[in-house]
Amino acid sequence: MSNPHKGRTGLDRIIHAAGYSWAGLKAAYTGESAFRQETWLCIIATPLTYWLAQTWEQAVLLMGSLLLVLIVELLNSAVEAVVDRVSFETHELSKRAKDIASAAVLMALLLAAGVWSAAIWQYLR
């Protein structure tokens, strides 16, 4: 069976890809509470970046660390959806995949916390 989407090229492909991406963001926001929480964290923290950052490099690091959390959460949600699509039965490999994806979110959150803590520390000194 051929993939009907592989024949798209140029602007048509970009438009369809953007639509699929928007649908993915909408699905994550409506269906994943962690993604909603992290989205609101980003919305609230974004204005703080302009107050806290002393250079454009710091602003990029602050915002980038927040966006990385959202990106990793999207990938975590995708892994969970695929594992659940295959089976809801408890299986060692399913648990491992979900746990590893969750650990990736934790690492991204710790990185963001470290970057923001360092920026706050530098600002307050």
Domain extent at residue 79 = 33-124
3-state secondary structure 8-45: CCHHHHHHHHHHHHHHHHHHHHHHCHHHHHHHHHHHHH
The question of whether 73 is a catalytic residue gets the answer yes
Task: Find the catalytic residue in 73, 80, 89, 92.
Answer: 73
* Whole-number pLDDT of residue 101: 98
* Whole-number pLDDT of residue 105: 98
Tens-level pLDDT at each residue, the chain (125 residues): 566 557 788 899 999 999 999 999 999 999 999 999 999 999 999 999 999 999 999 999 999 999 999 999 999 999 999 999 998 888 999 999 999 999 999 999 999 999 999 999 999 98
Q: How many domains does the chain have?
A: 2
* Whole-number pLDDT of residue 88: 85
Q: Kindly state whether residues 66 and 109 are assigned to the same domain.
A: yes
* Whole-number pLDDT of residue 9: 85
Q: Kindly state whether residues 38 and 99 are assigned to the same domain.
A: yes
* Whole-number pLDDT of residue 5: 58
Letter string b/e over residues 92-113, b meaning 16 or more CB atoms within 10 A of that residue's CB: eebeebeeebbebbeebbebbe
Q: Kindly state whether residues 15 and 45 are assigned to the same domain.
A: no
Separation between Cα atoms, residue 125 and residue 104, nearest integer Å: 32
Q: Kindly state whether residues 13 and 40 are assigned to the same domain.
A: no
Q: Kindly state whether residues 10 and 58 are assigned to the same domain.
A: no
Q: What is the pTM of this model?
A: 0.88
Q: Kindly state whether residues 1 and 39 are assigned to the same domain.
A: no
Q: Kindly state whether residues 22 and 44 are assigned to the same domain.
A: no
